[in-house]
Amino acid sequence: MLVSSILLSTVLLAQTPFPDLGREFEDDVVPRVDILLPADSLAEILAEGNELSNYEYPATLIIDDGDERDTIQDIGFRLRGNTSRFAEKKSFKVSLNTYEQGRKWKDLEKINLNGEHNDPSVTRSKLCWDLLRQVGIPAPRANHVELYINGDYFGLYANVEQIDEEFVQLRFGNNDGNLYKCTYPADLDYLGNDPDAYKLTSNGDRVYELLTNKDEDDYSDLANFIDVLNNSSIADLPCNLEAVFNVDDFLRVMAFDVLAGNWDGPLFNLNNFYLYLNEATGKFEYIPFDLDNTYGVDFFSVDWGNRNIYSWAMSSNPHPLYSRIIAIQDYRDRYTYYLRTFAEGILSEGALFSYLDEMQTKIAPFVTTDTYYPLDYGFTFDDFVNSFDGGTDYSHTPYSIKEYISTRNTSALNQLENNDMAPIVTKIIDNAPSPAQSLVVQAKIEDDVSITQVQLCYQVNGAGGFDCVAMNDEAQNGDALANDGKYTAMVPAIGSNGFIDYYILAEDDAGQESRKPVCDNLQTTVLGSGLTLAINELMASNDETIADAFGEFDDWVEIHNFGDNAINLSGLYLSDNPNEPTKWPFPNETIAAGEFLLIWADGDEDQGIWHANFRLASSGETVGIYDTDANDNALIDGVTFGDLDGDEAYGRIPNGVGLFQLLVPTPAGSNIPLTSVLPIPEVLPLKLSPNPFQDVVSLELGETSSEDLRLQLFDAQGRALGQQLWPAGQPNFSWTGLSELLPGVYFLGIQQNGQWVNWQKIVRE
């Protein structure tokens, strides 16, 4: 099977499966949420006998985080959940688009307010959502909020992101695929080849509820996935399953669920997950939800802290998503690797105990005044305190969270099998090159031992055999950052339209080999005019990085001529709408070979020839360079980017041909990878003041350096402006004489023994 990577490159490269928390899920405070609605409407919602009603009552939503206050009229308000509908502390759903179609708050159409009524810590689900982001699984964002209804305090709640079209668009860059909500008894057992057989119901609802494309109501994709999962031979299962399912991410989910004790998902209780057919890959993505029954919560009289990690599933029901996958030795070994990595790393005591202490301190004041907190189980504030690191008297919480973490991790590590694992090859992306661009392919490689060799094997237009070139993780030949586990290779431009098939081979020092994909090849289509023009960098929310000639901080797009010859831009176009490629015609100007050209996306053409008639959306969109009318306005180069924060730059490394990533902003200059400086502040802690500055910047080290330090100052174009020597043994240093710098953003880098050890953005007033 050939998997086209046109969308894979232009969409997934730009999308992050882990959007910023944003104001919607800010975590440094506990925002206040107010719901205002008529008293009789609230009485009906809470009336006995109405627990299963989904009628959405008109109401007003107010969200206040202490800095900003948003008021939204005419939202829909109702109960949500399953068993929680019958709890004393209810859970609620807010729908922003019920009475005003298409309306959102930020990127949200719905808000879930979960009472967490059976968790004395009110923290377990929030802990899981935070950890899943670290584990690398696209999962809902969440924070704690205090809920008031008609002025009365209803308690501390978890605000959890809705899994819907907006959710998958943010994670995968598309939302046209089928999205299934899978609830009990969603066992993924084979029911035959009739797609309609999977429209079975339980308690009046479909077990596999289709949330998108409802008019088509076509379950063929789900039926095919379940057929492959259940009926492929074990020998054929990796080849067949990886063609229709993101196995890589699911193995991480398996390890997480077992360590977190999540028995209420498909691995044990056949419940609580979503499947989304990612249009960019043609594969189903697994999305977890409802994770309050974790970290020691138990209703089955099972000791989840010591349960066998290789016999996790309930034996009385089919669990093909667990049993079939773990029967494959390669998958079992990778599952084992993730268990060890997580238990010793981000799910360890050292990583989680301080997090839990901070969480407990932050939310404790909101529990003390929560009169609904004790109603279902009789919880007291002492129970809240003990639920973190003591113990409770309640049968369903035999462990405190910290006790569970210690027990589960120790037990899991003691149970681990000691098999040598083949390299794990994941996150393969390419740059969808034009005929003039080199093909750049990147893959993440993990192993329990050292990697000795990674190769990209490729074939052009199906002719001849496959040629193989080395992939490197040494910041060379297209690789952005050395030793980050991401291996990159570049293949020379093919010079014409066509296609390139490729696969990746990896070998470790134990002689274990992996091929990805397991069967067949990946394919990227090469299309375009052959002009050596590229979208090289952009900024969709320019707060203070660089001002135009009028002193305005507007959005901008940088184009780059990466070829050897000058190009006249007359007749070409720049557009932020693929359906309107001729939106902004370039002026009759020439871009020199190697030149970086800045275009202000400010919608103000009156300010000059380099000011386009559109703005960029910080929430994400598409921008591209388009060919002449005579060439049918074909796309020359473009990118679809996701949500970008203020002053975040996004561009190619290497210039003109490389993969898109976050960058140090360098408008009209050569790109500097942000990944090369992001980890640096922890290497040599530094205090810098004042910032903004006028004439002097004073620096203070957290610890005195025993080596001379070299300071380098760069402007926003990445041009070096000067350097200073900071002698060894001196805890303080002042860089003077900076008053001649123009107002704007600059970058101050510090090197020790030739290596970057700190990198700071500074602003000249």
CATH number for the domain spanning 712: value is 2.60.40.3080
Determine, yes or no, domain membership for 328.
no
Residue 585: which pLDDT band, with cuts at 50, 70 and 90? very high
Judge if 454 and 481 occupy the same domain: yes
- Judge whether residue 580 has pLDDT over 70: yes
What is the average per-residue pLDDT within 380-405? 93
User: Which one, of 118, 103, 99, 5, lies nearest residue 57 by Cα?
Assistant: 99
How confident is the model at residue 10, as a pLDDT? 33
What is the average per-residue pLDDT within 460-473? 96
Residue 718: which pLDDT band, with cuts at 50, 70 and 90? low
User: Which one, of 5, 2, 1, lies nearest residue 525 by Cα?
Assistant: 5
pLDDT > 90 fraction of the chain, expressed in percent and rounded: 75
Determine, yes or no, domain membership for 319.
no
What is the average per-residue pLDDT within 240-257? 97
Determine, yes or no, domain membership for 27.
no
Measured between alpha carbons, how far is residue 168 from residues 172, 175, 222, 247, 587 in Å?
A: 6, 6, 17, 18, 38
Amino acid at 513: E
How confident is the model at residue 759, as a pLDDT? 77
How confident is the model at residue 689, as a pLDDT? 87
Structure tokens belonging to residue 24: 């919607």
Residue 723: which pLDDT band, with cuts at 50, 70 and 90? confident
- Judge whether residue 4 has pLDDT over 60: no
What is the average per-residue pLDDT within 643-649? 85
Judge if 599 and 634 occupy the same domain: yes
How confident is the model at residue 323, as a pLDDT? 94
Under DSSP, is residue 174 helix (H, G, I), strand (E, B) or coil? coil
How confident is the model at residue 179, as a pLDDT? 98
Total count of residues recorded for the chain: 765
Residue holding tokens 């510090």? 750
Judge if 666 and 647 occupy the same domain: yes
Domain boundary among 472, 500, 526: 526
pTM: 0.84
Judge if 686 and 605 occupy the same domain: no
Structure tokens belonging to residue 242: 């990886």
| Dist CA 611 CA 599 (whole Å) | 6
Measured between alpha carbons, how far is residue 618 from residues 138, 171, 494 in Å?
A: 21, 16, 34
- Judge whether residue 2 has pLDDT over 50: no
User: Which one, of 91, 93, 97, 92, lies nearest residue 109 by Cα?
Assistant: 97
Under DSSP, is residue 16 helix (H, G, I), strand (E, B) or coil? coil
- Judge whether residue 16 has pLDDT over 70: no
What is the average per-residue pLDDT within 317-331? 94
Measured between alpha carbons, how far is residue 738 from residues 308, 713, 717 in Å?
A: 64, 10, 18
How confident is the model at residue 14, as a pLDDT? 38
| β-sheet bridge partners, residue 661 | 651
How confident is the model at residue 685, as a pLDDT? 77
The Cβ-side half-sphere exposure at 725, using a 13 Å CA radius, reads: 5
| Dist CA 395 CA 397 (whole Å) | 6
Q: Which of 404-408, 465-469, 714-718, 729-733 has the lowest mean pLDDT?
A: 714-718
Residue 719: which pLDDT band, with cuts at 50, 70 and 90? low
How confident is the model at residue 683, as a pLDDT? 63
Domain boundary among 635, 657, 675: 675
User: Sheet of 686-689: strands edge to edge?
Assistant: 686-689, 697-701, 732-735
| DSSP-derived secondary structure letter, 134 | H
Over residues 151-195, the pLDDT tens digits come to 999 999 999 999 999 999 989 889 999 999 999 999 999 999 999
- Judge whether residue 3 has pLDDT over 70: no
Q: How, if at all, do strands 205-206 and 179-182 pair?
A: unpaired
How confident is the model at residue 674, as a pLDDT? 61
Judge if 443 and 570 occupy the same domain: no
Residue 430 sits in a domain whose CATH number is 2.60.40.10
What is the average per-residue pLDDT within 267-272? 93
Judge if 649 and 555 occupy the same domain: yes
Over residues 33-88, the pLDDT tens digits come to 999 999 999 999 999 999 999 999 999 999 999 999 999 999 999 999 888 899 99
User: How many folded domains does the chain comprise?
Assistant: 3
- Judge whether residue 676 has pLDDT over 80: no
Structure tokens belonging to residue 71: 């008021």
Residue 537: which pLDDT band, with cuts at 50, 70 and 90? very high
| Dist CA 696 CA 737 (whole Å) | 7
Determine, yes or no, domain membership for 136.
no
Determine, yes or no, domain membership for 519.
yes
Judge if 734 and 717 occupy the same domain: yes
- Judge whether residue 603 has pLDDT over 80: yes
Residue 562 sits in a domain whose CATH number is 2.60.40
Query: In sequence order, what are the residues at sequence separation of 6 or more whose Cβ sits closer than 8 angstroms to the Cβ of residue 420?
Result: 333, 448, 449, 510, 512
How confident is the model at residue 750, as a pLDDT? 84
| Dist CA 195 CA 215 (whole Å) | 15
Handedness of CA 715, 717, 720, 721 (dihedral sign): negative
Q: How, if at all, do strands 32-36 and 142-149 pair?
A: parallel
Judge if 667 and 690 occupy the same domain: no
Determine, yes or no, domain membership for 646.
yes
Q: By the 8 A CB rule, do 434 and 456 touch?
A: no
Determine, yes or no, domain membership for 238.
no
- Judge whether residue 480 has pLDDT over 90: no
Could you tell me the residue range of the domain that residue 549 belongs to?
533-675
Determine, yes or no, domain membership for 298.
no
Strand (E) positions, 584-702?
A: 584-585, 590-591, 596-601, 621-626, 635-641, 649-653, 659-664, 672-673, 686-689, 697-701
Judge if 565 and 657 occupy the same domain: yes
| Dist CA 237 CA 231 (whole Å) | 8
How confident is the model at residue 528, as a pLDDT? 86
Chain center to CA of 337: 22
Q: By the 8 A CB rule, do 667 and 546 touch?
A: yes
| Dist CA 729 CA 735 (whole Å) | 17
What mean pLDDT is reported for the chain? 91
| Dist CA 747 CA 763 (whole Å) | 8
How confident is the model at residue 77, as a pLDDT? 98
User: Sheet of 424-430: strands edge to edge?
Assistant: 424-430, 439-446, 486-491
Measured between alpha carbons, how far is residue 55 from residues 76, 92, 113 in Å?
A: 8, 12, 16
Domain boundary among 477, 496, 526: 526
How confident is the model at residue 754, as a pLDDT? 64
Q: By the 8 A CB rule, do 467 and 458 touch?
A: yes
Judge if 633 and 666 occupy the same domain: yes
User: Which one, of 702, 698, 682, lies nearest residue 748 by Cα?
Assistant: 698
How confident is the model at residue 5, as a pLDDT? 31
Q: Which of 333-337, 387-391, 499-503 has the lowest mean pLDDT?
A: 387-391
Q: By the 8 A CB rule, do 259 and 409 touch?
A: yes
| Dist CA 513 CA 260 (whole Å) | 31
Judge if 611 and 480 occupy the same domain: no
Judge if 570 and 661 occupy the same domain: yes
How confident is the model at residue 479, as a pLDDT? 84
